[in-house]
């Protein structure tokens, strides 16, 4: 039996959903049907088991498009993704009290957000950019230049992007569901895992092109089932501008994770003797667009809350604060467009989580994890997310589990 089930659309392309045993809210189903009704969707829409409502397109959806891109189907945290590195340590090397290790990581990587957009007062930005981060900014390749030259070209072409984040946020964590964790795997080995994206600059790029696409729809009197599904037709100036900008944001996001990981590993090397990086390292996007071939056609695949899981490719599926995460190997499932879920997926909104759960609930749910246990992170408590065991059970034909990780330290902004 196939791992997916069909979601009835009534019209448009089919929807194949890997959601057996996982609840999906009606708002997300409506969004999937809206996307499936678009005439330039190729073959079908794939919904991952962590699927839930998002702006325009659901989080946890894989959408192959012929001749157009929907900016909202990529999202605004462009290039958001995961990185994990295995180390030479085992749990025996860890101290009983992990608060100093957590404090060391928090001191090494800016996190959170303060200052109401004033970078000079923002605890989540660099006041003085470290040399390694400045080097990454100057040297990380993008097209025929670097991150630095690429952003200069983007802001010259699109002045509204000029005030967005830049080098002062490269190598920083951010807020929300982004995190840095120290974990133990099934063999008691220590891993470092983190989750972040393109910070404010990706958000600015995403929002800018969503609005630009909406103006194009109004210009040509195109009516859509949801205004946030506004698209940019391939070959137009808007499409070409978006491809350049989204590519830059994806390059920034990958470099962002690499810079953070380097800082965390430096902390680990200072704290632990005989520390080495292990053989396994994974760095993957889960909010992005890529040109790929599927079912005999070259298409633009948007993965919004989904990880590429081609045959043999490694990916990361995190749980939430207090529950397991997974390093997985893709099975190359063609019906899923070589994809898998990007996490457990939210079971409720942040506002609902804050209404429903107390600080005491959160403390109990994160027992044994050195992390924030205050009211400021209740919207990230494990109960706000779907059951990761059910999510993994629903996608056994998409991935194999290679390593199971359980966090012992979790840093959040």
DSSP H or E stretch at residue 215 = helix 199-219
Neighbours of 228 (CB within 10 A): 19
Residue 162: DSSP 8-state: T
Residue 159: DSSP 8-state: G
3-state secondary structure of 391: helix
**How far apart, in whole angstroms, are the C-alpha atoms of residue 58 and residue 61?**
6
**How far apart, in whole angstroms, are the C-alpha atoms of residue 124 and residue 325?**
25
**Burial of 302 by CB count in 10 Å (0-12 exposed, 13-18 middle, 19+ buried)?**
buried
Cα distance from N-terminal residue to C-terminal residue, the chain: 43
Q: Is 342 in the active site?
A: yes
Strand partners, 17: 5, 47
Is the distance from CB of 54 to CB of 31 less than 8 angstroms? yes
Residues with Cβ within 8 Å of 293's Cβ and at least 6 positions away in sequence, in order, are 299
Is the distance from CB of 184 to CB of 405 less than 8 angstroms? yes
State the catalytic residue, choosing from 286, 342, 362, 403: 342
CA separation, residue 331 to residues 158, 167, 206, 310 (Å): 41, 37, 31, 6
Is the distance from CB of 114 to CB of 121 less than 8 angstroms? yes
**How far apart, in whole angstroms, are the C-alpha atoms of residue 53 and residue 48?**
12
Residue 8: DSSP 8-state: P
Active-site residue set: 342
């Amino acid at each position: 039996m196939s791992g997916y089930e069909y979601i009835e659309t009534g019209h448009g392309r089919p929807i194949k959903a890997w959601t057996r045993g996982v609840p999906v809210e009606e708002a997300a189903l409506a969004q999937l049907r809206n996307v499936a009704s678009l005439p330039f969707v190729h073959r079908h829409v794939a919904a991952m088991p962590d699927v839930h409502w998002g702006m325009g397109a659901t989080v946890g959806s894989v959408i192959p498009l012929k001749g157009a891109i929907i900016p909202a189907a990529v999202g605004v945290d462009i290039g958001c993704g995961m990185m994990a590195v295995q180390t030479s340590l085992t749990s025996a090397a860890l101290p009983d009290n992990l608060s100093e290790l957590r404090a060391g990581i928090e001191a090494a990587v800016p996190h959170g957000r303060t200052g109401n957009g004033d970078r000079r007062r923002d605890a989540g930005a660099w006041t003085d950019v470290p040399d390694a981060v400045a080097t990454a900014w100057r040297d990380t390749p993008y097209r025929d230049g670097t991150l630095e030259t690429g952003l200069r070209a983007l802001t010259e072409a699109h002045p509204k992007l000029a005030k967005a984040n830049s080098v002062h946020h490269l190598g920083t964590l951010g807020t929300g569901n982004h995190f840095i964790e120290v974990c133990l795997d099934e063999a008691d080995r220590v891993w470092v895992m983190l989750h972040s994206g393109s910070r404010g600059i990706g958000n600015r790029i995403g929002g800018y092109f969503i609005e630009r696409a909406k103006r194009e729809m109004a210009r040509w009197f195109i009516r859509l089932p949801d205004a946030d599904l506004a698209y940019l037709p391939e070959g137009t100036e808007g499409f070409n501008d978006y491809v350049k900008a989204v590519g830059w944001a994806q390059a920034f996001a990958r470099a962002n994770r690499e810079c953070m990981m380097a800082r965390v590993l430096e902390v680990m090397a200072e704290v632990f003797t005989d520390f080495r990086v292990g053989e396994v390292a994974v760095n993957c996007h889960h909010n992005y667009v890529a040109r790929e071939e599927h079912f005999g056609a070259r298409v633009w695949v948007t993965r919004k809350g989904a990880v590429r899981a081609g045959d043999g490719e490694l990916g990361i599926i995190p749980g939430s604060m207090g529950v397991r995460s997974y390093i997985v190997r893709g099975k190359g499932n063609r019906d899923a467009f070589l994809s898998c879920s990007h996490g457990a997926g939210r079971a409720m909104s942040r506002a609902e989580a804050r209404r429903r759960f107390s600080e005491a609930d959160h403390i109990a749910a994160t027992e044994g994890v050195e992390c924030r246990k205050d009211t400021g992170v209740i919207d990230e408590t494990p109960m706000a997310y779907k059951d990761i065991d059910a999510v993994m059970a629903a996608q056994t034909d998409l991935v194999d589990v290679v390593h199971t990780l359980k966090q012992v330290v979790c840093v959040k902004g």
